[in-house]
Amino acid sequence: MTMAEGDLALTQLAFVRKASIAPRPPPSKMVGPVAWLRNNLFSTPFNITLTITMALLLAWAIPELVRFLLLDAVWSGSDRDACLESVQHREIGACWPFVWERLPYFIYGSYPISERWRVDVFFVLLAVGIAWLLWPGAPRRDLGILYFFLVMPISSFVLLTGWAAIGLQPVDTVLWGGVLVTIVVASVGIVCSLPIGIVLALGRRSRMPAVRLLSVIFIEFVRGVPLVTVLFMAGVMLPLFVPEQLSPDKLVRALVGIAMFASAYMAEVVRAGLQAIPKGQFEGAMAIGLGYGQMMRLIVLPQALRVTLPNIVNTYIGLFKDTTLVFIVGIFDLLRTIEVARIDPKWATPVTSTTGYVVAAIFYLVFCYGMSRYARAMELRLAKGDRH
Amino acid sequence: MNATTNSGSLLKPGRLNTDIAVQMIDVNKWYGDFHVLRDINLKVVGGERIVICGPSGSGKSTMIRCINRLEEHQSGKIIVDGVELSADLKKIDEVRREVGMVFQHFNLFPHLTVMENCTLAPIWVRKLPKKEAEEIALHYLQRVKIPEQANKYPGQLSGGQQQRVAIARALCMNPKIMLFDEPTSALDPEMVKEVLDTIVALAEDGMTMLVVTHEMGFARQVANRIVFMDEGQIVEVNGPDEFFAHPQHERTKLFLSQILR
């Protein structure tokens, strides 16, 4: 009896393979668009229900959105009359001329018109810094760090607040507003919270009881109080106790409040990352002679921050949207400028508020989704080292 | 008993000298109430190769981890390369620079390449220029026979390769003493030999080493002395021939009868 390769006969006890089996392509139902649909959209009854529900939801929402934002939208006009219902316009969509006219106010607030180029320069400086820092293939990233954490903040500060000695007219922060304030508050919060959060997280895990206690008190206190309360205390209560000359600028107080608040949250996020690092990494680092600072900086933190990157970005996104709360102490961030503009009698129509809020929604969505996508890309990039 | 006088018959004399590499005098350690090391006395001279064996929980790993102060001892003296270990961080750093360690689970840094794993300590601790550190790293990677993996990440290597990288990483600091804490226990059977061969080659070069292992064939081949521990105590110390042929203590006899069949 001759046996074909791979044919294990029940009657035959011993078996020796004579030629190895070459890999074959998978069956056709595993590849191609139909397979993709089957795997991703219609794999289980629950999945099928979900797919159909979502499709119906989109079919209902998208035409409505398109109608409001584009088809029925008003594109030109100089005041509210353009955006009111009329014989020609039964259905009125978004009132874009309102946005167009108030756009400078949304961006700069009440910053003096002749000085607004300074804000534009600040936006460019910031964009350059962010691109330099976040683009992994950028040249001289060491200089980028120096630029982002030293050159840019100082020059932005001088540029925005003004310095009479070099011919820049001082601009009181009361006049700042709109996107400018939102971006300033968010960047200060984002940039300060990570380093302070790391220090607090390490402090909370410190062997020294005093350091540990102070960190715990700070974190639990700041985290246990609503942000509105922190801002309110910084903005309204502090001036009651501190003489006016000693009391810092209102915006600065809000910035400090936001930075403290974000740091406390960040500390816990970083601590979660630190706890995910196996003891062996600490021991490996100690055994080759690294000191505490080197061990943390070179071995532990890079891994801990990577593990917890989704949480860091989550905190950042939350922080970005929380900046809208600065209105409570009378600072005009983007949302506040829209609030003010939408009740302006010149443009008051039934669609003005909705249009204003759509602008705000698009702005926050673009920034938050951008952060989210960047973080996802970084996760995939960083994960390359782990996988085979 | 005094563990330091009984050096037994040496399988390979090696390049022994009279410098004391490690000396432990009446070392005691507790984990809470648990007395994990009891009156440990051990003297290791330069170039000597000590294999430490014993049942699990006998304190073998804890003992060698005390030598580079990954564990703290509560009483007694540990003197490593002339430096007495205490709470003084400078002394601890000094000892760790001269003592290399290889762990059961490798403890390579997964976010760094093999090359970066090896050059990290020379660059940051020894303050060598990057280029020089890379030359040294390449030299030792060649010695453990994986120079071609230098730019991979640890996660891309097999267990045996990872452990050889870990050995190279320790060697890059040019240590005077090497500690091995069950270096083959976490490996697939097929990979044990490549790691043991690497350690044997190192032994033949006269490196002072303390090895915790269950590989008795390796112990017989490499050790100058075998230290047998049980319940936190050193029970028996002897040269490998005597140790395997004529174990003295009842506990040693029982242990050997369990693992050698």
Neighbours of B242 (CB within 10 A): 16
Contacts of B208 (CB under 8 A, 6+ apart): B21, B22, B44, B45, B46, B47, B48, B49, B176, B177, B178
Rounded to an integer, what distance in angstroms lies between the CA atom of residue A132 and that of residue A138? Answer: 6
- Is the Cβ of B91 closer than 8 Å to some Cβ of chain A? no
- Is the Cβ of B186 closer than 8 Å to some Cβ of chain A? no
CB-CB: which of B106, B120, B155 is closest to A388? B155
For residue B153, which residues of chain A lie inside 8 Å, CB to CB?
385-386
**Mean of the per-residue pLDDT values of chain A:** 88
The alpha-carbon gap from A54 to the nearest alpha carbon of chain B, in Å, equals: 40
- Is the Cβ of A284 closer than 8 Å to some Cβ of chain B? yes
ipTM value of the model? 0.89
B37: left (phi over 0), alpha (psi -120 to 50) or beta: beta
DSSP class of A109: B
Contacts of A46 (CB under 8 A, 6+ apart): none
CB-CB: which of A280, A281, A385 is closest to B153? A385
Neighbours of B232 (CB within 10 A): 22
CB–CB contact B120 A303 (8 Å): no
Rounded to an integer, what distance in angstroms lies between the CA atom of residue A261 and that of residue A244? Answer: 24
Whether B1 shows a pLDDT value over 70: the answer reads no
Q: A303 to chain B: nearest residue by CA?
A: B111
Contacts of B56 (CB under 8 A, 6+ apart): none
CB–CB contact A303 B153 (8 Å): no
Q: B67 to chain A: nearest residue by CA?
A: A287
The one-letter amino acid code at A201 reads A
For residue A207, which residues of chain B lie inside 8 Å, CB to CB?
none
CB–CB contact A287 B107 (8 Å): yes
pLDDT for residue B29: 95
- Is the Cβ of B125 closer than 8 Å to some Cβ of chain A? yes
Neighbours of A185 (CB within 10 A): 26
The alpha-carbon gap from B250 to the nearest alpha carbon of chain A, in Å, equals: 35
For residue A280, which residues of chain B lie inside 8 Å, CB to CB?
103, 105-107
DSSP class of A138: -
B78: exposed, middle or buried (C-beta count within 10 Å: 0-12, 13-18, 19+)? buried
Rounded to an integer, what distance in angstroms lies between the CA atom of residue B201 and that of residue B218? Answer: 12
Interface test with B, best of A277, A281, A283, A288 (most B CBs within 10 A): A288
What would the two tokens of residue B220 be? 């017989």
What would the two tokens of residue B248 be? 């003295």
Q: CA-CA distances (angstroms) from residue A168 to A45, A117, A158, A161?
A: 66, 11, 8, 8
Residue with tokens 């008795």: B216
Q: Do residues A334 and A321 make contact, with C-beta atoms less than 8 angstroms apart?
A: no
Q: Do residues A192 and A263 make contact, with C-beta atoms less than 8 angstroms apart?
A: yes
Q: Which of B131, B217, B205, B129 is nearest to B167 (CA)?
A: B205
Rounded to an integer, what distance in angstroms lies between the CA atom of residue B14 and that of residue B94? Answer: 26
A262: exposed, middle or buried (C-beta count within 10 Å: 0-12, 13-18, 19+)? buried
The alpha-carbon gap from B172 to the nearest alpha carbon of chain A, in Å, equals: 9
Q: Which of A84-88, A134-138, A228-232 has the lowest mean pLDDT?
A: A84-88
pLDDT for residue A301: 93
| DSSP letters for A348-378 | --TTHHHHHHHHHHHHHHHHHHHHHHHHHHH
Strand partners, B227: B52, B237
SS3 A93: coil
- The tens digit of pLDDT for each residue in A185-195 reads 999 999 999 99
- The tens digit of pLDDT for each residue in A257-288 reads 999 999 999 999 999 999 999 999 999 999 99
pLDDT, mean of residues A208-222: 94
The one-letter amino acid code at A146 reads L
Rounded to an integer, what distance in angstroms lies between the CA atom of residue A228 and that of residue B187? Answer: 56
CB–CB contact B110 A289 (8 Å): no
For residue B70, which residues of chain A lie inside 8 Å, CB to CB?
283, 286-287
pLDDT for residue A169: 87
CB–CB contact A299 B153 (8 Å): no
Q: What share of chain B is helix, strand, coil (3-state, %, to 5)?
A: 40, 25, 35
For residue A387, which residues of chain B lie inside 8 Å, CB to CB?
155
The alpha-carbon gap from B197 to the nearest alpha carbon of chain A, in Å, equals: 23
The alpha-carbon gap from B70 to the nearest alpha carbon of chain A, in Å, equals: 7
Q: CA-CA distances (angstroms) from residue B81 to A123, A204, B43, B253?
A: 59, 36, 11, 34
CB-CB: which of A280, A290, A385 is closest to B125? A290
Neighbours of B88 (CB within 10 A): 11
- Is the Cβ of A280 closer than 8 Å to some Cβ of chain B? yes
- Using CA of residue A96, residue A99, residue A103, residue A106, what is the dihedral sign? negative
Whether A182 shows a pLDDT value over 70: the answer reads yes
CB–CB contact A284 B107 (8 Å): yes
- The tens digit of pLDDT for each residue in B146-180 reads 999 999 999 999 999 999 999 999 999 999 999 99
The one-letter amino acid code at B56 reads S
- Using CA of residue A360, residue A366, residue A372, residue A374, what is the dihedral sign? negative
The alpha-carbon gap from B67 to the nearest alpha carbon of chain A, in Å, equals: 10
- The tens digit of pLDDT for each residue in B72-99 reads 999 999 999 989 998 888 899 999 999 9
Strands B177-181 and B208-212: parallel
CB–CB contact A289 B173 (8 Å): yes
- Is the Cβ of B156 closer than 8 Å to some Cβ of chain A? yes
DSSP class of A297: I
The alpha-carbon gap from A299 to the nearest alpha carbon of chain B, in Å, equals: 7
- What b-and-e string marks burial along A32-64, b requiring 16 or more CB atoms within 10 Å of the CB? eeeeeeeeeeeeeeeeeeeeeeeeeeeeeeeee
Rounded to an integer, what distance in angstroms lies between the CA atom of residue A11 and that of residue A9? Answer: 5
The alpha-carbon gap from A324 to the nearest alpha carbon of chain B, in Å, equals: 38
pLDDT for residue A1: 47
Q: Do residues B206 and B31 make contact, with C-beta atoms less than 8 angstroms apart?
A: no
What would the two tokens of residue B157 be? 């290597």
CB–CB contact A288 B155 (8 Å): no
Q: Which of A50-54, A346-350, B72-76, B213-217 has the lowest mean pLDDT?
A: A346-350
Q: Do residues B65 and B240 make contact, with C-beta atoms less than 8 angstroms apart?
A: no
Strand partners, A176: A109
Rounded to an integer, what distance in angstroms lies between the CA atom of residue A132 and that of residue B36? Answer: 54
> How sure is the predictor about A39, in pLDDT bands with cuts at 50, 70 and 90?
confident
CB–CB contact B70 A289 (8 Å): no
DSSP class of A19: S
